[in-house]
């Protein structure tokens, strides 16, 4: 599962997510990014739909093998909340902090 910033400069953050997803794939992983998946369907500006999207995203923690926090752009409040869930041991999933590999960054036109 990939965690990266969403709110704020959404266009730039979604471009970064593509790079992070590619980086993950090049590491031999099959990543999911719930903040991309659910924001395509739910309205992140509607508090109830946002809450639902967050809960749906957290449900992936029950089945994923690793949560990769891509932090080149910093740690968003949503990312911090997910990290808090992992550290509270509500979900026993390994996690790691990542920066996009230089060769991946340079391969993206």
Check pLDDT > 80 for residue 103: no
Q: Using a CB cutoff of 8 Å and minimum separation of 24, what contacts does 44-49 make?
A: 44/6, 44/7
Task: Give the pLDDT confidence of 15-37 residue by residue, as tens digits.
Answer: 999 999 999 999 999 999 999 99
Owning domain of residue 33: 2-107
Whole-model pTM: value is 0.87
pLDDT for res 56? 94
Task: Give the pLDDT confidence of 54-70 residue by residue, as tens digits.
Answer: 899 989 998 999 999 99
Check pLDDT > 80 for residue 102: no
Based on the structure, what is the number of domains in the chain? 1
CA dist 86 → 16, 59, 61, 67 (Å)? 23, 12, 9, 9
pLDDT band at 5 (very low <50, low <70, confident <90, very high): very high
């Amino acid at each position: 599962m990939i965690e990266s910033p969403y709110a704020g400069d959404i266009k730039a953050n979604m471009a970064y997510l593509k790079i992070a997803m590619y980086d993950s794939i090049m590491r031999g992983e099959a990543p999911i990014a719930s903040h991309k998946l659910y924001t395509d369907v739910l309205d992140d500006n509607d508090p109830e739909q946002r809450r639902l999207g967050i809960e749906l995203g957290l449900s992936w923690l029950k089945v994923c093998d690793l949560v990769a926090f891509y932090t080149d752009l910093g740690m968003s409040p949503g990312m911090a909340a997910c990290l808090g869930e992992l550290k509270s041991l509500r979900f026993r999933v390994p996690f790691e902090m990542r920066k996009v590999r230089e060769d991946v960054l340079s391969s993206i036109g």
